[in-house]
Amino acid sequence: MERMKDASTQDAFCFTLRCEECRKVWHGAPVPFSKAGVTPSTEGKRIIYNTLYEKEKRYALEKTAGEGERLFNVCPICGRLVCDECFMICDDIDICCACATRLNEPGEVVGGKQGGGCSPECA
């Protein structure tokens, strides 16, 4: 997911997503690096650990992206990534609350909050 931000450290992989409507940031669960705290004993081990780090990071990104896909939606009208509190189930097509308001399209917020716009609680 290209919209994910990398917040990883040398010891753990962590990625975040930000709702483009309310700006709320979701942090994926940190995934520890299998060799965290281990100092490579040789140049060869350093290369192996660096390669392992990149491999585990890709896996953690894919895992976190899967979690994020259950909590975020891409609006088919404006193309923005929005959280469930800013996404609406409408009669013809599900869209973000801003587009629903702009297009005067009634619907129900996925995140369970009622209203025609983004809930201020998620800002």
Place of tokens 């997911």: 1
pLDDT tens-place string over residues 10-24: 999 999 999 999 999
Closest CA to 38 of 23, 29, 48: 48
**Interval 86-91 mean pLDDT:** 96
Q: What was the pLDDT predicted at 73?
A: 95
- The answer on pLDDT for 90 being more than 90 is yes
Q: What is the pTM of this model?
A: 0.76
- The answer on pLDDT for 34 being more than 80 is yes
